Chain A
């Protein structure tokens, strides 16, 4: 057992850290958020050129064979920089499904351009009624000769507005919450019958609601076997959950550091407010929250890295921790910044909003505590 990271892993984290420090300051980020696409195509190109978009893929696919540890290092830096480029949607969610299920022809068509940053993709993991359960799928896919006809609604599709292709879970059999009977389709976003309503989210990301009305897709777009899509869907959502927890760690650490710094400089009653014990103890509490969360992150990442049977349970433990502790820390950060923490102009509130989104994304703290319990003892 050891906690040290390799030289290669250190270099990866350093290269992202340098890029954020030099090219992704808060003002730049805010301009990107306000742009039409909601992300920077130039920045995305840079990510691809530096190889970051290739990290979690197999070498045979043109990837770098990275695992949970590399993902953690990347996502923590993205959290630190409040990066809005759709890494999660493209690389972890859509890429996660494609790398596991695509046939050689499908790899050629979709995975290869995705890895080099030339294709935008999205995974529609939620429906209006599904809340946080990826198995709750009411969208239907009815077989019709050599094709499928898709009908239904998807919500909160990250990167759904910009995506060239959409991965749509649809029910080919079974009732609406059954895990069996879900099939995954990868289809061009401009296929007739698809309408997309894109919207920004509170944290500066981009999502879309998607309606599918008699969308006719060829059976070539089916990923893996019909009816068997759920296990992969859940695995990919779990990976994404772990990834956003690592991102949250970057958000939390940044909020903690900025808050401590701010109180040292903010003078009231003739003294820095950091001299007040009421505030000191609150910052110590949030420091401990940070350290505890980081410990659970390492634990969970290491279990997932060694494919331990408890890996999924560990993700729920971590997401519960990040949800409760991260929100507490972020609310405290705003409080300790006082009125300034309330302003759009200052970055603190934007970190707070990203933390809020991460808590909800893929299931909030309550959801994951219940899921943790559902795994039973041991």
Chain B
């Protein structure tokens, strides 16, 4: 056991710092620091900057363009990116569908889809949840009927994050309905969003933002070459994907960055007030949160270390999802608490680049804190709600 970084690790960290200094686009950095939402183009440019350096597909096997990094390298990379307030990679292509394709797809699918995912030429979104199938995902009803040459897809997918930008969607669909277990008869289909019959409708969430969508499929014709793996085995593939998703959403490095920001802010005199950190109950909550986050950081490191010796992340990834989102939400709440009254003005227009400073209400991104708080209540609901995660741990880890 040793906590010190070895020379190779320190050197790697410097390389990442050099990359961020040189290749993290300045205009994106400014938007991030000012709380301005990124456009599709911003995100793609950031992805491509990572891709050019060979650091976009961190987790992929080296043969497909991955990094082959050790757990410590992955940890350092995530920390440095968070420290620079760089955007998180949009996961649907690179972290979600790609592992399914390179694990279960055929050679034609690998060579057709993986290069475009790696280079961010194609934007993917996820078609799992349906209006009637949330936590009970296996009850999904979107049908794909084989008509002798193609699948004909009918149904509705929902909570489709950034579906408004997407070129392709990966879906769990029902290819057989008279099955013994509902988990059978589900297949994993890749669908071009430009296919006739696909429509995308926005869903506006409580903070007023447009992140998620409903995607409707009306007699959408999908060629059989877009079926990944075997027909009827989609549930198994989808589960593997969810485990990847859960490791990704702990968000430890970002939480550390945000907590440090909050501590800095709380130590300042804001508008002449006594620094908030001098309030004993605030200070104790911050300290407890910091300890909680440290525990999560080392739980993630332990999980990464065990993944490095075994293979795919197992059910223990559910821990990281639960604790990671709980900590994120606690930081949201404390950040909003620090803003006081300035959490309440609802002026999203302030967070555009050309908003005149003279009209700005509050300092910095104070009035955005509540929007983050409201928006991020989603974190304990998506990716399989935290209650579902507990069911998974109870069954697969504790054997209950």
Contacts of A301 in B (CB 8 A): 1
The CA-CA distance from A372 to B289 in the complex, in Å, is 12
Q: Separation in Å of the B304 CB from the closest CB of chain A?
A: 10
Q: Which residue of A lies closest to B4 (CB)?
A: A306
29 A-B pairs within 8 Å (CB atoms) are namely A1-B2, A1-B4, A1-B5, A2-B305, A5-B1, A260-B398, A263-B400, A264-B399, A280-B390, A280-B398, A281-B394, A283-B394, A284-B397, A287-B398, A288-B322, A291-B299, A294-B302, A295-B296, A295-B302, A298-B1, A299-B297, A305-B2, A317-B291, A369-B284, A369-B287, A369-B291, A370-B284, A372-B287, A373-B284
B-to-A contact residues, CB < 8 Å: 1-6, 9, 72, 263, 267, 283-284, 287-288, 290-292, 294-299, 301-302, 305, 319, 322-323, 387, 390-391, 393-394, 397-400
The CA-CA distance from A299 to B296 in the complex, in Å, is 11
CB pair B1–A260 under 8 Å, yes or no, is no
Identify which of residues 281-340 in chain A touch chain B, using a CB-to-CB cut-off of 8 Å: 281, 283-285, 287-288, 291-296, 298-299, 301-303, 305-306, 308, 317, 320-321
Q: Separation in Å of the A354 CB from the closest CB of chain B?
A: 22
Q: Which of A295, A299, A370 has the most chain B CB atoms closer than 10 A to its own CB?
A: A295
The CA-CA distance from A281 to B390 in the complex, in Å, is 6
Contacts of A285 in B (CB 8 A): 390
Q: Is A344's beta carbon under 8 Å from chain B?
A: no
Q: Which residue of B lies closest to A301 (CB)?
A: B1
List the 10 closest pairs (A to B, CB-CB), nearest first: A295-B298, A302-B3, A280-B394, A292-B295, A295-B299, A274-B400, A284-B390, A296-B295, A317-B291, A284-B393
Q: Separation in Å of the B301 CB from the closest CB of chain A?
A: 7
The CA-CA distance from A299 to B290 in the complex, in Å, is 14
- Total A-B pairs in contact (CB under 8 Å)? 111
CB pair B294–A296 under 8 Å, yes or no, is yes
Contacts of B391 in A (CB 8 A): 277, 280
Q: Is A361's beta carbon under 8 Å from chain B?
A: no
Q: Which residue of B lies closest to A303 (CB)?
A: B3
Contacts of A269 in B (CB 8 A): none
CB pair A3–B294 under 8 Å, yes or no, is no
Q: By DSSP majority rule, is chain A's interface helix, strand, loop, or mixed? A: helix
CB pair B390–A1 under 8 Å, yes or no, is no
The CA-CA distance from A327 to B371 in the complex, in Å, is 36
Q: Separation in Å of the A308 CB from the closest CB of chain B?
A: 7
Identify which of residues 1-45 in chain A touch chain B, using a CB-to-CB cut-off of 8 Å: 1-5
Q: Which of A284, A293, A306, A377 contacts B295 (CB 8 A)?
A: A293
Q: Which of B72, B263, B296, B399 contacts A292 (CB 8 A)?
A: B296
20 additional A-B residue pairs with CB within 8 Å, beyond A260-B398, A287-B397: A1-B3, A2-B1, A2-B2, A260-B400, A274-B400, A281-B394, A283-B394, A284-B397, A287-B393, A287-B398, A288-B319, A291-B299, A292-B296, A295-B298, A298-B1, A302-B3, A317-B290, A369-B288, A373-B284, A377-B267
Query: A1-B4, A2-B1, A321-B291 are known contacts. Are A298 and B302 too (CB-CB below 8 A)?
Result: yes
Contacts of A291 in B (CB 8 A): 299, 319
Q: Is A69's beta carbon under 8 Å from chain B?
A: yes
The CA-CA distance from A287 to B322 in the complex, in Å, is 12
CB pair B400–A280 under 8 Å, yes or no, is yes
Contacts of B302 in A (CB 8 A): 3, 294-295, 298
CB pair A3–B4 under 8 Å, yes or no, is no
Contacts of A369 in B (CB 8 A): 284, 287-288, 291
Q: Which of A2, A275, A369, A372 has the most chain B CB atoms closer than 10 A to its own CB?
A: A2
Q: Which of A280, A293, A294 has the most chain B CB atoms closer than 10 A to its own CB?
A: A280
